[in-house]
Structure 1
């Protein structure tokens, strides 16, 4: 059990040693992924906002040992959290024993950047969380751990394992351009303020491209209430586009990690790192009105989104926090290139092979081809928009043909489907290596 993904030094090593029987809630290590998809390791994909409360409910059983990284231990015993908070508060509270890893590579300037809220409770005794603005501090800067729980303290000096983000390519910039144009339209119509609403951005090159376009587009006074701060958001904090960012962790490239450490005095005034149960809390996301921007594996013509499974059965990483923000945010946007594997896969399909985000939680679908605003549309109206605006030209006629025949031959006419053909595109890819008709 973790906050989200960990580096190969943990997930990869344990997977190779057959040291994991069950993993949750999110993973991204190739070795671990292969073993999950081979059926050798059980995997529970779960909304990140649910992990802490499910642990308190006892749904995962007893927690024996928690291994928690910290920046430092104060003389009074309080713990200065590291650059990732995640579910560490809950692990420290619930575990019978604790091993603390004091990592000297974590900058001491992190002291004061965190806001650890201890006001959560189990139902029916919950009180409103008193967070009204992105930068509000409602807790304390430190983690607590009873000294009688501490089994060992391990000193390390190791950097976070992080990947360098590639510069946005032409496709990512096209996707970003469509979304920025849409946001400007919403401002012009009076549905968004000039400084937008708090941004949530998933991890990846496409979302980094969107953030880059915001930085180049003259926006100012933006805020972020998100799960992870990545390079693009750090850039916006640096250039003044973003005034405040709230998250649970940093996920920075090696170069950005150095830049963060060098400017930590400045960033400490603009970044708040919180427990995951707060950073991803559905009620806070709804109240603040977040603009959710996340990637997808595929979307079907009615707007159902698959963000986790390849061909319906092979897990990629996991749903992470995207569902927390998509269902509860003011605006839910899903983005992807219109094709994959050199055009042999269409990201827009008749029926999604796995659904993480139903049509009810998806407001906007964006590819390099265009943007479909699905708000206020019936299923058939959504299908026409997605096919016309988001599908690749190589697949658009196939999708149009499927939809028109489904409208005539489907068992029902509300959400027309031809059940014998609905997943035939995926079957065709598995058998022939392409979704295209032969």
Structure 2
């Protein structure tokens, strides 16, 4: 539904905040040019959707009058077209971190109009609190309500909101009255702090809680409260296709192999993390078909596939930073929020993605990628090595620290013009040291315990048949050089596939 302002004050249960209610347009005037602004939002959920468009309108007016207006945006992860999109289209974004998905912002980033820094999602809060990005001027945060004591009830994501509320000089709250009131209590809010004052995190099981259901805020810093009615950005997921279904089946086959070898508990696995998109949903569907029950997930996103596994008893408990669903799944969630709140915990991302917790409880990380090379280096961010797609997100948090790190991809892209398995990755986000298993529709390459040459043979075996002979030829000639080294490469050809695609539109000769 389209976001709109409302007059219903029932969600504002503290009198001090009632006096701060104003329009989104009035609130937008309180954000100064050059401000560093912390926004709520994580994969489109829990974003403020009324004030940012008014900021964009203001930017356009000021630009037309020959005046400057740009801000720096810090968030949890991706936001919404009514945040990143409208502000980028208005040329009002000077700097952005840590993750985005909007096409307007992507164009601004790749043209150099907007500076972008790619940051691991688990790391941003600590870096901001340490002052690496400068002083946060404003925070614009969506909540679902304000309690009688002045505490904030978070929305469908938490992201970095508790820290933004702590650090920002001025705070604008959007109280979204369409979100179910039953969300109260589903959250587990805490602050991690920075070195040397961090304390051990008491999460030993997925179901453990360490904080409060509410976020704290200094009421004196709140300069505006905007009453809204706005649905989250809803994602559109395609039905499983043969490629994604095959990938899901291969993941299940790998997990069954690990159970049989005694490396995973039979029937229960270890806590699962699943990335975003159609392939991730297909993998989760594969778990249901395989008959698993009572699983646990320690992840950053609950999307359709995971929600339905909770509904069907395949997953008993899921810890996450956000709930990001399709329209049908949103309706399902709202029909039975009371049920789902018993099986879901929403946390800040410095806990949902915390490397120490991920490593200690033994999370199995499953993430998508753009490409991998024959030795297992993974590119998850840059198209042809230069064009930023979205950012690394939380994949590095789980890949480097997970008990098992799995990367998923179809073997080709652009109708076969691009191979997802290449001689050398044009950009490396996850080195061979962090990549354990790579899965395509042609099988899984188990890279654990293998030297580079054996890794290459395993990777070539799961490439698309059209590209396997080319990969094998490259590898054979690299190994036949007078001094091939431990990791054989032909340096003059290592990126030739990408160069050929840029020049001709295909990696094929």
The equivalent position to 2:463 in structure 1, one of 391, 397, 404, is 391
- Per the normalisation by structure 1, the TM-score is 0.98
The equivalent position to 1:413 in structure 2, one of 455, 461, 485, is 485
For 1:260, the equivalent position in structure 2 comes to 333
1:51 paired to 2:124: yes
Gaps of 5+ in 1: none
For 1:185, the equivalent position in structure 2 comes to 257
- Deviation per CA, 1:114-171: give whole Å up to 9, x if none: 00023x2321222211110001011110000010010000010010111221111000
1:400 paired to 2:468: no
For 1:40, the equivalent position in structure 2 comes to 113
1:434 paired to 2:494: no
Q: Give the match's secondary structure for 2:122.
A: helix
- Deviation per CA, 1:302-361: give whole Å up to 9, x if none: 000000110000000110000000000000000101011111110000000000000000
Question: 1:412 Cα shift?
Answer: 4.0
1:308 paired to 2:392: no
The equivalent position to 2:180 in structure 1, one of 102, 107, 116, is 107
* Contact 1:299–1:348 (Cα < 8 Å) also in 2: yes
Higher CA-based Rg: 2
For 2:234, the equivalent position in structure 1 comes to 162
The equivalent position to 1:221 in structure 2, one of 291, 294, 297, is 294
* Contact 2:96–2:116 (Cα < 8 Å) also in 1: yes
* Contact 2:162–2:190 (Cα < 8 Å) also in 1: no
Note closer, same or farther for the CA distance 1:342–1:205 as it changes in structure 2 (3 Å cut). same
- 2: CA distance between counterparts of 1:122 and 1:397? 51
- Per the normalisation by structure 2, the TM-score is 0.85
Matched ranges for 1:188-267 at <5 A: 188-194=260-266, 195-267=268-340
- 2: CA distance between counterparts of 1:59 and 1:254? 38
Q: Give the match's secondary structure for 1:99.
A: strand
For 2:345, the equivalent position in structure 1 comes to 272
1:69 paired to 2:137: no
Q: Give the match's secondary structure for 1:45.
A: coil
1:127 paired to 2:199: yes
- 2: CA distance between counterparts of 1:165 and 1:324? 25
Question: 1:408 Cα shift?
Answer: 1.6
Question: 1:193 Cα shift?
Answer: 0.6
Matched ranges for 1:354-373 at <5 A: 354-373=427-446
- 2: CA distance between counterparts of 1:307 and 1:164? 21
Q: Give the match's secondary structure for 1:90.
A: helix
- 2: CA distance between counterparts of 1:342 and 1:267? 39
Question: 1:365 Cα shift?
Answer: 0.4
Q: Give the match's secondary structure for 1:183.
A: helix
Note closer, same or farther for the CA distance 1:161–1:404 as it changes in structure 2 (3 Å cut). same
The equivalent position to 1:22 in structure 2, one of 91, 95, 104, is 95
Q: Give the match's secondary structure for 1:294.
A: strand
* Contact 2:478–2:484 (Cα < 8 Å) also in 1: no
Q: Give the match's secondary structure for 1:156.
A: strand
Question: 1:364 Cα shift?
Answer: 0.2
Q: How many residue pairs align between the two structures?
A: 435
For 1:141, the equivalent position in structure 2 comes to 213
- 2: CA distance between counterparts of 1:303 and 1:57? 34
Q: Give the match's secondary structure for 1:250.
A: coil
- Deviation per CA, 1:290-309: give whole Å up to 9, x if none: 01000010000000000011
The equivalent position to 1:292 in structure 2, one of 342, 365, 378, is 365
- 2: CA distance between counterparts of 1:254 and 1:146? 35
Matched ranges for 1:72-83 at <5 A: 72-83=145-156
- Deviation per CA, 1:259-302: give whole Å up to 9, x if none: 11111000111000001110000000000110100001000000
1:153 paired to 2:252: no
RMSD: 0.8
Q: Give the match's secondary structure for 1:237.
A: helix
Question: 1:35 Cα shift?
Answer: 1.1
For 1:425, the equivalent position in structure 2 comes to 497
- 2: CA distance between counterparts of 1:277 and 1:196? 24
* Contact 1:410–1:418 (Cα < 8 Å) also in 2: no
Gaps of 5+ in 2: 1-73
